[in-house]
Every structure is written in structure tokens, then in C-alpha cells.
Homo-oligomer: A and B are copies of this chain.
Amino acid sequence: MYRELVLTSAERVFARGGYHASKMAEVAAEAGISLGTLYGAFPSKQEVFEALHEFRGAQFLARVEAALKQPLPARESLRLGVHAFVGFLMEHEDYFRVDLREGRSWAVGDVEASPAFQAGIRQWTALMQRGIDEGLFLEDDPELMATSVFGLMQVQLAARMQRKPDATATELADSIAEALERLLCRPEELAAVAAANARTA
């Protein structure tokens, strides 16, 4: 089966010019297969696009899930989660590009967010709840908090990658995690968190 080869090729092609500017013939050429074989693996261009998001989305979810399911305090989990998030997107920059461009990340009006995105939100929602239960995070709608976290991670990562192309994933993740802590934590916990971070660093 050529499914995975097609998806990683499509990822590179879509990353170059976006979904609409990319042609099925380009995807096939990038994969080194024929159009017929491409259509043997996926019935349509749209399905390739969706399968790409399922494929990378599942990997992405698994990577973050592995970080978040460690039995640790919410503050540590947040750190680990952010590192997983940042690490994955930096290793898969093409996917990041595709996702930023046309990932249906943000539901607006009647356009639903994509399933992978919704699953990602659920992961972080659970962490938000844990942080609230621990008294670390401010009380608010955890799903909304998760969405903000997701968005801020994406935006900051994109901006920081653009501005400092040579920064390591660890550096970027640390900066982003600090911003998230400020956004999420109860003020009275922030000092303790900062102290803890200082010790870790």
C-alpha cells in the first residue's frame, strides 16, 4: 500500500503552495508513483487531504497524549505537553504549514473544526480540568481554556519560528510554556511556579 508514501509526499506538496495550488500530478510525482497508483490509494484529492490530517493528527495526538498522561502535577504536565506539541510541529514543519493554512482549526459559523483538532482540544481540556482541580489554574470553562492554549501555542510557535529560525524546540517550548502559565495560573500560584521553573532550568 502506498498510503503513507502518498501522505508524506502530499504533505510536502501542500506545504509548498496550499491545497488548491497543488495538483494531484504533483503529489504523484513527489511520491514517485503514477496518477493511477495515487488514485488506487485514495479516491480523491479531498480524501488525501483529510487522510493527511488523520495520519499526522493521530501521531500528534499520541505524542502529546504520552506527555500528558504521565502522573504528574498539572504544572509539569503542561510543560511536558508544550514540549511535545512544539517538538512535533518542529519535526513536521510541513504539516504545521499545511495546518496553519487550511487546517480548519478554528470553527467559525457553520464550519466545523476538524476531527483531529477537536480531539486535540479534548486532550488539553482534560489537563485544564486537572489544573483547576489542583487549584493551580483559574476557574473558567476548561474547553475554552484549552482552545486558547492551542491557539497561543500555534501562534507563538509560528511567530517564534519565523523570527528565530535557529532556536531549538526546547527553548521555544520553554518560552511558550511560561506564557501559558501566565495565562492560566492563579496569580498567587505564579510566584511558586516561577520559582519551580527557575530550579528546573
Contacts and interface: CB of A to CB of B under 8 A. Distances in A.
Nearest to A110: B16
Contacts of A135: none
A161 B107 CA distance: 9
Interface string A46-80: 00000000000000000000000000000000000
B161 A108 contact: yes
A102 B102 CA distance: 8
Interface residues of A, number: 38
Nearest to A109: B97
Among A108, A148, A155, the one with the most B-chain Cβ atoms within 10 Å of its Cβ is: A108
Given A141-B163, A163-B144, A190-B187, A152 B154 contact: no
Given A101-B111, A151-B154, 16 more contacts: A96-B108, A102-B102, A106-B158, A106-B159, A107-B158, A107-B162, A108-B158, A138-B182, A144-B159, A147-B155, A147-B156, A148-B159, A148-B179, A150-B155, A155-B155, A183-B183
